[in-house]
Structure 1
């Protein structure tokens, strides 16, 4: 692999002092302890003492010595001189000209344990670590380079030349890739390799290669679509080498290889070297089976749910249509019953009295009508199920023949019933007398059973399929291979792996390994929180506790609107007026010119780009996705960078999920370093919120919700917004958000330089388990509460006196549950932190049917403690409540900006597959972040201009400005991908002072 993968910013940062050198940096690297002072005090002259200290701080801070010891930030020299009580003057100039500086580097090496990069023992350790990292992960080379620098500095290895280290990182990474290729191809025969190659050859009667055909998975949510998906899986399984893969290959490596094959053109795959091509195709075929499994299970869930809902509705309608006739007959029979029950009429005269009231023929007709219309409640629905059974029969035989499942203990009853249906599928005359009935729930009993021991074929089949779908959702039944429905235990730390990782996990999460110690700390913390809140209640005008129907009622007054001073309104108007007017394409090019974020889009083969004006092509693709207009309006046959074939080629080879995330990480980092950004936050807080999109296509990867999508179907893009306004990460949720597990996936999946520790959400569907798990992972969960009156307050000490809160704190924690399961809870947190398991799948294992497991109950108990701590703080601290509101408003404002950009095709998302949906909306988030970066940079220039012209700029007002404005940005209709020459040379757009002077 070439070594030209480092960006100019990385090259500038290598072995250099941070800019600016912060107080934390100085405290970490420039503080001289007693040992340092003793060594330096032994030196004679001030210039040698200061020079030695500077060299020591330099190697600690940069990882190497500098050719010119005086080439250091002045603040570093001042800090060291103050500690040594030396006046800096010209001491470093004298020191630079002396031979002592060379002797001092030798002494520092020996005394403090620094070694040169070629040191055999240390370099072997480094290369082993580097290979392991490259083998287990798929980090891009530039990120692996950064990790390598961190390792070398921690191991006190002096950094080599940048080219040397970059070459070693590239070589080790190539070795790891080649090892994967060898392991995937060493058991292949020449004939099998030839079979794989034929997948990339277009047959005379087709326009696509066989491989391009099989990677298009059916997604139509219908019985026929499900049958097509099952047939598609059968076809994939007939291809060479689909089943088992060699063991011990990291899943991340297989996924990365498959991702390349599933997104690249066949011609690109065909041009790969033979070993890489065979390995890539083999990994892709394995991944296609997993994707096909997931698609089938999604379709089965969708089709069966729709069919059962339709049958229930049809049964109800059928019942309603017969009610009029049934009511007439029932009234007639009521008259007869009244006569029979009348004590004044003798038993012998009853028949005569009835005949006098109702004719015999009429009564016969009425009885017949009641017998025809009066049905048990299940019967009308059963008839509707029978009427629709042909749709099930369309896919049922293929489903039973194709899909093989396994189960956790809680899912064994469903699995046995499913396997029974597989066995009897060809036995049309079976009586179902031996069907396992444990799967039949009380809700299904009227439909599935003829007698207590005899099952009905149609009703039982419906019951088993319904229970199968339910068990799959809970991950009690799973399929292998699969990305989302695999064995939930895969990737969990256990046995020796957990024993080896326990101490590291506890240190990383800052939790004790002993459950008793953890519980004692929580008990003390909860008692202190209650005491603090109770003490503050008399002066807390926002909180009122009354008694309603003999029960305490807690009322928290809503926050009053925060008034905007006239100075803030004026400043906001001035900033909006002075911002330059710009087209979106030019904005993206300028942001790239200043940050280099488009350099993150690397070629699939990781070779350096050989095309001119690649940034222009990338900007066009991003505009097409973000504005939802496609490539057609952006194509220009006269501009090579905007020709259709060029744009399609760049889109295929450079724009991928991982490159979008890497580019986003660079933008977030660039924005973080802007001084104005620090006025809004430090990246320690983030909010999660969803923005919904209608998907006007029939696809299993969209769901209905009349409240948000009307008669259409749609998706939710659940995304994380930092307090600095940057978007960190997002993921697609089919339909609307149903539970808070997605929050974990978004939070742990983000790969930007920001690491928020406090997470804010709207009221939503949070649970006690999420409170506990997020706290265990080191996060503070802070949801906005619409109605705190219904919240439960929990206590650990049943005898504790909480004053006026006693009547509210009536629910008691069972601390022993937490203590008993503390190690398992840490193990789950460690597995999630290390990214070795699928988050949603793992969390589903905490349920057994509708009942939580004992481990889930322990998480609930922990979550109830953490939630009570949150509630007490929420009551007690108005500033805390306002911070939550402010951050949520930032996320909502960012979503509004995204809506403005995503204007094409009525703002509807026209992507059929989840991967396409996620990539397009990630591109939208990237463009929104670029707008935020551009706005922030120019807002700084506007504020500087206002200060220079003598206008007041208050820090409190600056903190309330927002970089989400868009009135000055044209996103419609004009797409010119060219930077003005002065801007391309590094100049800035002039501020829009014309409007100001005219006004």
Structure 2
């Protein structure tokens, strides 16, 4: 069952604002139900009472509250279905003359829907489940919601709120007690006391901040100063022996949750917690900070190295431009000398030697060589400072790795105080492109060259996973990210079967090569039919896709539809969609207690998801205080809450019948949108088209228009990792009965050969709209011949031996992704060009070439497939316009510096965008329903071409008012009442 239809699970009362569609979909009676509810078993109002018991238990997992009123729309539906007269009965109690009859009906309803009650058998199982769920739950309220769904899935009647809450609190306390015990075991008390003493002490310097405040301060602009500050924090943490604390017994997400509590509250509030609570949170904070600062140091160091290369490249370009001018002038002089009839041959030779001296600057060599020489000679001090700063990192790897050998040599020379590279140094440890500089006569320059070579090699090796960092979360040892070798050896066959794959690479390749052969046959047929041509350079040319004609009926229908919908205030959109989907309940972990808290949640969404600050939002929402918004912002930043809220909005949007006309939910597209920001944000980069600093928001969009996944990225980086990661996260987070994505359309940035292979092994196709598609060559297995009709086609060769050699390691990686040991994004990020030489990379790259050939054959020869891909990607561009309307400014100078805050900005922005899409979908469905009742002509083909991303009728700015009165019972938690005893 879709999670949208599960939003009433745990409720014992229903909101009065239920719609007719919600009643029919969530509280409907089947023909068999109506037969069971007929006399003589049920008579009079008892029929209605039993029906209420049945539909409430089936939809909520609980028996209805005896005293709460029933929605009139539900009563009208039930009386109509049962053939009874309409009634205005106020509550369940009013339906029964005695309690015994109500208890009998509850028992009948349980038997009818197959529910059991919590007993001595299920209680231990529930306690065990709560123990597991508490490892990932953010709060007790979240744990209660998860336990309600756990019971509902197992057809067990939900016990009273107090019973569940007590059990959840106990599980949460046990989880925390286990964490405290792990801290006491792994962190020596003396070290913890030393850490506490230092953390709450004042740090020297202006401002008078404590060390704790300094440690939690987010980084500024990337650069040597920021890198130095980050390494100081790492040194401080290591001086406290934090790197020796082995806290693997505590799940990382729990450590981050405890750490976030320290970040969100003043140091004084943390200081006066109970001893156990304080030690647990401080130890978690210091441990997580070490992990994050290590990752940050590696990222900023890599960026600083790139900056040094850019500066050296700029100087080379300038020198080359100047030398070009000089050479033109010398050419004129040379011409004058050669053709001067008054000079003898000897005088011409002498003049030419004067013009071109033997010891003059040599312009031979490639531009890359000049860049390396400039880097070594002019950026040597900065390169040394960069390596010295990164010396605090513990870089690990195989002893035979060349980058580690270079680093070891540099450390030995530094210990001995040697300032030049010794003669006879073994240059084979470095890339051949550095050999000429390492063998040069100036040994100081040679040492500078070794430092530059080592820094470059370390960057590539860490990015490609050949080297790893101790005390890091993103640059861990690959062996720690994969299924342990012993477990893989025992269970690899069952794990591979679960992926619907085979451990025999030849069987898999047989199917792939068969598809390649069929695709090549399609190309041959298309050439013979004249559908495509191949020019003399081996490029394929096809006729461009002709846009579908704009039908007047579609345009008129769209205009009429949105005229009927009318103008809307964004604030009221939030309220109405929240009442239908319950996203504020997901953000808080419970329903809001009052209107002020609900307004604060909406204000937090505005602050995160738009360009406004908390102060600016409070100026737009009368009666709201900055402190309220700030507190709500911290609550929404909790792990998973914004993502869950977004999922609820999507489920509501997809529940509309009109959404099924746009797509089946099994295809998607993805693309990046840039949010302008300050250049002082360390993750900001210059966008090459608009020459503005920004951060990327990478979003995935279903074929039903909803944005189902998002993540912040560094712009201009390859986007294949987040593209595949979003689909895998979506497929694995869905219920088993939900549709899995089978196709993702991306542009050139979202593709690599390795990513296409990983995607296929994970069960979906990565389809790419390549730039300069006609120039992209096909690949065949080595030894296969090209058909005569395609002899002019540019064809590459694929090594099947490399695929066979790395097949099991590749399956090991994919199985580890599916088990959640690492994300698909982390895996693909390590399979980029920096991983060349790795057998896994080689296998994925070669397999990806074959899969790309299959895709290109289909793309060139199947116009419908080509049109579908372009339609998906063009829809994404339309959604970007709506996203710009929601977030039309830039990220503030002080915002987005923390990774969790940047994620909150990204997901809140996506949530607000989905609110507009869902509200438009709902109103479009209402208009269509009215037209059908009125016999207004409407064709489904017209509706397929009308999307829900229209926003000209929406007012996003100005004073914001929330019309909550019609939905107050759906949004606000009702006051506690005396509950009647339920049959347990």
TM range (shorter): 0.7 to 0.9
- In the TM superposition, what is the alpha-carbon distance from 1:655 to its structure 2 partner? 3.6
- In the TM superposition, what is the alpha-carbon distance from 1:183 to its structure 2 partner? 0.9
> What pairs up with 1:333-348 in 2 under 5 angstroms?
none
Query: Which one of 905, 924, 930 corresponds to residue 945 of structure 1?
Result: 930
Contact 1:583–1:971, Cα closer than 8 Å, also in 2: yes
- In the TM superposition, what is the alpha-carbon distance from 1:573 to its structure 2 partner? 0.1
Tell me the equivalent position of 1:746.
726
Tell me the equivalent position of 1:901.
886
Tell me the equivalent position of 1:424.
413
- In the TM superposition, what is the alpha-carbon distance from 1:616 to its structure 2 partner? 0.6
Tell me the equivalent position of 2:683.
701
- What is the TM-score of this pair, normalised by structure 2? 0.79
- In the TM superposition, what is the alpha-carbon distance from 1:286 to its structure 2 partner? 1.5
Tell me the equivalent position of 1:630.
613
Tell me the equivalent position of 1:131.
131
**C-alpha distance 453-986 of structure 1, shift in aligned 2 (>3 A):** closer
Tell me the equivalent position of 1:566.
552
Tell me the equivalent position of 2:474.
484
* 1:308-330 alpha-carbon deviations (Å, 9 max, x no partner): 33224324534554566667668
Segment of structure 1 superposing worse, 287-296 or 385-394: 385-394
SS of aligned partner of 2:640: helix
* 1:80-124 alpha-carbon deviations (Å, 9 max, x no partner): xxxxxxxxxxxxxxxx99999999999999xx9x9764254x654
Tell me the equivalent position of 2:952.
967
SS of aligned partner of 2:10: helix
> What pairs up with 1:694-843 in 2 under 5 angstroms?
694-706=676-688, 708-710=689-691, 712-750=692-730, 751=733, 755-764=740-749, 766-785=751-770, 788-793=773-778, 818=803, 821-843=806-828
> What pairs up with 1:246-395 in 2 under 5 angstroms?
246-266=247-267, 269-270=270-271, 272-318=273-319, 320-321=321-322, 353=344, 366=355, 371-374=359-362, 382=373, 385-395=376-386
SS of aligned partner of 1:696: coil
Could you list the runs of 5+ residues in structure 1 that have no partner in the other structure? 1-5, 32-39, 79-95, 343-349, 988-999
- In the TM superposition, what is the alpha-carbon distance from 1:898 to its structure 2 partner? 0.6
**Pair 1:588-2:574 in alignment:** yes
**C-alpha distance 546-330 of structure 1, shift in aligned 2 (>3 A):** closer
- How many angstroms apart in 2 are the aligned matches of 1:559 and 1:757? 24
- What is the TM-score of this pair, normalised by structure 1? 0.78
Tell me the equivalent position of 2:18.
none
**C-alpha distance 379-892 of structure 1, shift in aligned 2 (>3 A):** closer
* 1:934-987 alpha-carbon deviations (Å, 9 max, x no partner): 222222222233344443222222222211111111112x12233164465789
Contact 1:687–1:722, Cα closer than 8 Å, also in 2: yes
- In the TM superposition, what is the alpha-carbon distance from 1:406 to its structure 2 partner? 0.9
Contact 1:329–1:370, Cα closer than 8 Å, also in 2: no
* 1:527-565 alpha-carbon deviations (Å, 9 max, x no partner): 66667x479859x97x6244543x876433222211232
- In the TM superposition, what is the alpha-carbon distance from 1:719 to its structure 2 partner? 0.9
- In the TM superposition, what is the alpha-carbon distance from 1:899 to its structure 2 partner? 0.6
Tell me the equivalent position of 1:544.
531
Query: Which one of 582, 592, 596 corresponds to residue 613 of structure 1?
Result: 596
Query: Which one of 643, 647, 651 corresponds to residue 661 of structure 1?
Result: 643
Contact 1:697–1:910, Cα closer than 8 Å, also in 2: no
Contact 1:794–1:811, Cα closer than 8 Å, also in 2: yes
- How many angstroms apart in 2 are the aligned matches of 1:271 and 1:507? 54
- In the TM superposition, what is the alpha-carbon distance from 1:740 to its structure 2 partner? 1.3
Contact 1:701–1:734, Cα closer than 8 Å, also in 2: yes
Tell me the equivalent position of 1:88.
none
Query: Which one of 666, 671, 674 corresponds to residue 653 of structure 2?
Result: 671
- How many angstroms apart in 2 are the aligned matches of 1:133 and 1:632? 37
- In the TM superposition, what is the alpha-carbon distance from 1:418 to its structure 2 partner? 1.1
- How many angstroms apart in 1 are the aligned matches of 2:889 and 2:694? 16
- How many angstroms apart in 1 are the aligned matches of 2:609 and 2:60? 41
- How many angstroms apart in 1 are the aligned matches of 2:103 and 2:166? 33
SS of aligned partner of 1:489: helix
- In the TM superposition, what is the alpha-carbon distance from 1:9 to its structure 2 partner? 2.6
SS of aligned partner of 2:8: helix
**Pair 1:855-2:840 in alignment:** yes
How many residue pairs are counted as aligned between the two chains?
A: 911
* 1:743-799 alpha-carbon deviations (Å, 9 max, x no partner): 123333445777423211124452332222111111122323565544555567978
Tell me the equivalent position of 1:884.
869
**C-alpha distance 956-435 of structure 1, shift in aligned 2 (>3 A):** same
- How many angstroms apart in 1 are the aligned matches of 2:569 and 2:636? 24
**C-alpha distance 150-627 of structure 1, shift in aligned 2 (>3 A):** closer
Tell me the equivalent position of 2:461.
471
- How many angstroms apart in 2 are the aligned matches of 1:14 and 1:805? 69
**C-alpha distance 379-782 of structure 1, shift in aligned 2 (>3 A):** closer
**Pair 1:221-2:222 in alignment:** yes
Tell me the equivalent position of 1:84.
none
**C-alpha distance 516-330 of structure 1, shift in aligned 2 (>3 A):** closer
- How many angstroms apart in 1 are the aligned matches of 2:192 and 2:699? 43
- In the TM superposition, what is the alpha-carbon distance from 1:579 to its structure 2 partner? 1.8
SS of aligned partner of 2:679: coil
Segment of structure 1 superposing worse, 888-897 or 247-256: 247-256
- How many angstroms apart in 2 are the aligned matches of 1:559 and 1:139? 50
Tell me the equivalent position of 2:982.
none
**C-alpha distance 958-138 of structure 1, shift in aligned 2 (>3 A):** same
Query: Which one of 388, 399, 403 corresponds to residue 414 of structure 1?
Result: 403
SS of aligned partner of 2:878: helix
Contact 1:63–1:157, Cα closer than 8 Å, also in 2: no
Contact 1:290–1:481, Cα closer than 8 Å, also in 2: yes
Contact 2:754–2:828, Cα closer than 8 Å, also in 1: no
Contact 1:728–1:752, Cα closer than 8 Å, also in 2: no
- Asked which structure has the greater RCO (Cα within 8 Å, sep 6+), the reply is 2
- How many angstroms apart in 2 are the aligned matches of 1:686 and 1:624? 29
SS of aligned partner of 2:661: helix
Tell me the equivalent position of 1:185.
184
**Pair 1:977-2:976 in alignment:** no
Contact 1:145–1:166, Cα closer than 8 Å, also in 2: yes
SS of aligned partner of 1:686: strand
- How many angstroms apart in 2 are the aligned matches of 1:336 and 1:808? 51
**C-alpha distance 986-851 of structure 1, shift in aligned 2 (>3 A):** closer
Contact 1:227–1:394, Cα closer than 8 Å, also in 2: no
- In the TM superposition, what is the alpha-carbon distance from 1:396 to its structure 2 partner? 4.5
Contact 1:696–1:908, Cα closer than 8 Å, also in 2: yes
Task: Give the CA RMSD over aligned residues.
Answer: 5.0
* 1:332-384 alpha-carbon deviations (Å, 9 max, x no partner): 78998999xx9xxxxxxx9x9466668x8x788656x5534456656897467
SS of aligned partner of 1:292: helix
Tell me the equivalent position of 2:94.
none
- How many angstroms apart in 1 are the aligned matches of 2:456 and 2:523? 51
SS of aligned partner of 1:490: helix
- How many angstroms apart in 2 are the aligned matches of 1:562 and 1:383? 55
**C-alpha distance 282-985 of structure 1, shift in aligned 2 (>3 A):** closer
- In the TM superposition, what is the alpha-carbon distance from 1:680 to its structure 2 partner? 2.1
- How many angstroms apart in 1 are the aligned matches of 2:695 and 2:102? 69
Contact 1:230–1:398, Cα closer than 8 Å, also in 2: yes
Tell me the equivalent position of 1:172.
171
- How many angstroms apart in 2 are the aligned matches of 1:309 and 1:844? 23
SS of aligned partner of 2:440: strand
- How many angstroms apart in 2 are the aligned matches of 1:629 and 1:150? 36
